[in-house]
Amino acid sequence: MTIACGLLPVLQPDEHDAEYELSDYEGARARWCPGCGDHSVLTAVQRLLTAEQLTPEQTVFVSGIGCSSRFPHYLKTYGFHGIHGRALPVATGVKLSRPDLTVFVVMGDGDCTSIGAAHWIHALRYNINMTVLLLDNGIYALTKKQTSPTTPQGFPSNTQPNGSRLPSLNPLTVSLGVTNASFVAQTAEWAPAHLYATLREAYHHRGLSFVRILQRCPVYSAAVYQAAVQDPARIALLTHDDGVVVPDLEKIYKTQVAHDPHDLDAARRIAESTDHIHLGVLFRDPSRPRYEDLLRVAPRTADERITLMEAELDRYAV
């Protein structure tokens, strides 16, 4: 549902004693194509909400436009399905006005890295405490196969039928180059255990968590990551004490790279590497300043919010 964030109710800790089940977070039936990687991401998110016992009325999903941006419709939480490229400023407004809420942002590669690129850069710099998911299938899928900024060079589309002319934009190197970025990770929808573990790490980070999720579109860009899906040797797992650890995956992905996620220079080298697709936490620094802490935003009571809203509406009385 689309909501005005000022109307969200505040539940006291003792108002809900029963344990939430997975079904408590399941919204409308997802209408993505069969085989779409969005299904895997949705399942991982629902598992996370259940494991963390997040109160639906205290959880908000904000999205822009695109296949992945239908995400809020498929969850039984509050949601805001915004306009193209504007998910991050909407989420920022929600979090600054209601710091007591848990905020997730879901965007596609076109939504985030093209029309929303300026918001993406400044959201990383502001480092507000929310979890940001970039579902990257390397194509504009909702509008039927146009080249996006992350489309691999040479990959044909309806806008560039002879192949994408430019090298693709790398969301990891861009994010790691932004002043005050505090958490950057990469995972893949075809590795659900790693996907879930990465989302859990991102959720527990204090600050803006940016997670790039490599994702296949079975209709328009299945070939983009198909080689990596079929050949585990193309994947390298980042191993570290302070990051994503999924022991069972080591049997599948035998290439492992020891990495310290506090080392920004090492994170940038890994992000630029083309020898493997690296999965894991590239960078984490919870000590970096958060904009809401600098503003000292304090949660308001329900009565205070109603009073402020009525005062604002009174300005327009005729």
In a domain, residue 4? The reply is: no
Q: Which amino acid is at 202?
A: A
Helix (H) or strand (E) holding 41: helix 37-52
CATH number of domain containing 152: 3.40.50.970
Q: Tell me how many degrees the CA angle 187-36-73 measures, rounded to the nearest 5.
A: 95
Residue 125 included in any domain: yes
Asked, for residue 20, whether it belongs to a domain, the answer is no
The pLDDT of residue 155 is 85
Q: Is residue 110 part of a domain?
A: yes
Q: What are phi and psi of 237, to 5 degrees?
A: -90, 135
- The pLDDT value recorded for residue 51 is 96
* Residue span of the structural domain in which 189 resides: 33-313
Q: Which two tokens stand for residue 56?
A: 């639906």
The answer to whether the beta carbons of residues 54 and 208 sit under 8 Å apart is no
H or E segment to which residue 305 belongs: helix 302-314
pLDDT of residue 240: 85
CA nearest to 79, candidates 157, 37, 25: 25
In this prediction, residue 298 carries a pLDDT of 64
> Quick check: is 40 in a domain?
yes
Q: Please give the pLDDT value at position 238.
A: 95
Whether residue 117 lies inside any domain: the answer is yes
Residues in the chain: 318
d(CA 196, CA 67): 20
- Quick check: is 183 in a domain? yes
Count: domains in the chain: 1
Looking at residue 297, what is its pLDDT? 59
Question: What's residue 160's pLDDT?
Answer: 83
Angle of helix 117-126 relative to helix 87-97, nearest 10 degrees, comes to 30
Cβ neighbours for 263, distance < 8 A, ≥ 6 positions apart:
none
Token readout for 75 is 């969850």
pLDDT value of residue 7: 40
Q: In this predicted structure, what is the pLDDT of residue 82?
A: 87
In a domain, 3, yes or no: no
pLDDT string in tens for the chain (318-residue length): 344 343 444 444 445 566 999 999 999 999 999 999 999 999 999 999 999 999 999 999 999 999 999 999 999 999 999 888 899 999 999 999 899 999 999 999 989 999 999 999 999 999 999 999 999 998 888 888 888 988 889 888 888 899 889 999 999 999 999 999 999 999 999 999 999 999 999 999 999 999 999 999 989 888 888 889 999 999 999 998 877 888 889 889 999 999 999 999 999 999 999 999 999 999 999 999 999 988 875 667 788 888 888 888 888 866
Its pTM stands at 0.87
